[in-house]
Amino acid sequence: MFDHPSYDHHEGVHFFEDETSGFKAIIAIHSTALGPAAGGCRMWNYETGEQALRDALRLSQGMSFKNAMAGLPLGGGKAVIWGNSKTDKSPALFEAFGRAIESLNGDYYTAEDVGIDTSDMAIVATQTSYVAGLDTGAAASGDPSPVTATGVYRGIKACCERAFGNGDLSGRTIAVQGVGSVGGYLCDHLAKEGAKLLIADIDQDELNAVAGRTGAEIVAPEAIYDAEADVFSPNALGAILNPGTLDRLKAKVVAGGANNQLATPEMGEALRHKGILYAPDYVINGGGIINVAAEISGEYSRDWVMSKLDVMIDTLGQVLDEALSADEPTYLVSERIARSRIAAAPSR
């Protein structure tokens, strides 16, 4: 573990299994310096346990940076459940997950991520109180993805302001990869402002639904990298900015909600070299965790969430401006700020 390429001084990496329900999961806690670790739960049918571990390590580190950049009193953690979210879910599996979280005594709060919805979280909540993104309860915040999408939409405008001298999206062509929860709500915002949308997904139903209500043009999943677009917005899975895709991008801006978009840090430098402005994923997609943080605080307030979203967009602007004026890659500037915020936290 200590030699793993994605290990970054994580405070704890916990492995869980419940044979009866088929539950297998990793909960990685990267840092609790700023507060209890918080980050969603992903359910994915990994080919190997090594892939699940890598995802848990990278995603939990990303949550530390995300929470620090959003100015939240939360550290970074993430859970990955190894299984097929379409066929392997059961109440017993999510009860086992709830017990696993409870055993960590409040060091980790969970919520929804890819493959998980609010009905799953409701089962988790029967076993532990360290869960957010619920539909019911005094401070329930529900599905975080609409707030994530609002943040991504505003972040795209902030990027366009810098890249094109104008944040108005009417008439801009935007290629959206993944039109699930975040990508779908994002397309609604973009279409409302008059952007021309090219969308790709591997789920035909999602594609038809989004194209039907926004007038978007459907593009084959692999072709989205070659799309003639001003903005490329990844909203599916990670590592899509890699040596096989980078040279195909025509956009001047890459800004989307997906986590871990850069396959390696060098890709961030390669984007800068190509003159593409990249919005660091964990800065632009912090809206969902802001919504979750309101619930964790015990008192949900929409005004508080929106004011935090304003701060998040200001922070993104600072990262972009600092990177552009120093001719540095944006990922490096944001990581430096995030790490310094974590290092400056008073000991808890």
Active site residues: 78
329 lies in the binding site for ligand NAD (CB under 6 A): no
CB 31 within 8 A of CB 8: no
Nearby residues of 258 by Cβ (< 8 Å), 6 or more positions away: 177, 178, 234, 235, 236, 237, 238, 240, 281, 285
Q: Find, among 72, 79, 146, 148, the residue nearest to 110 by Cα.
A: 79
Residue closer to ligand NAD (CB basis): 173 or 321: 173
Residue closer to ligand NAD (CB basis): 45 or 321: 45
Coil, helix or strand for 195?
coil
Minimal distance, residue 271 CB to ligand NAD, in Å: 18
161 lies in the binding site for ligand NAD (CB under 6 A): no
As a whole number of angstroms, the distance between CA 45 and CA 42 comes to: 10
Residue closer to ligand NAD (CB basis): 23 or 44: 44
> What does DSSP assign to residue 110?
B
Minimal distance, residue 179 CB to ligand NAD, in Å: 6
Q: Which of 98, 257, 268, 280 binds ligand NAD (CB under 6 A)?
A: 257
Q: Which of 110, 235, 245, 330 binds ligand NAD (CB under 6 A)?
A: 235
Site map (CB under 6 A) of ligand NAD, residues 97-136, x = contact: ----------------xx----------------------
Q: 31 pairs with which residues across the strands?
A: 76
61 lies in the binding site for ligand NAD (CB under 6 A): no
- The stretch near ligand NAD (CB under 6 A) out of 46-54, 119-127, 197-205, 305-313 is 197-205
> What does DSSP assign to residue 104?
T
Residue closer to ligand NAD (CB basis): 77 or 183: 183
Q: Find, among 331, 120, 147, 116, the residue nearest to 257 by Cα.
A: 147
Q: At what angle do helices 330-343 and 302-326 cross, to 10 degrees?
A: 120
262 lies in the binding site for ligand NAD (CB under 6 A): no
CA 108 to chain CA centroid, Å, is 17
Q: For ligand NAD, which residue has the nearest CB? A: 180
Positions touching ligand NAD (CB under 6 A) are 113-114, 144-145, 148, 177-183, 200-203, 206, 221, 235-237, 257-259, 285, 288
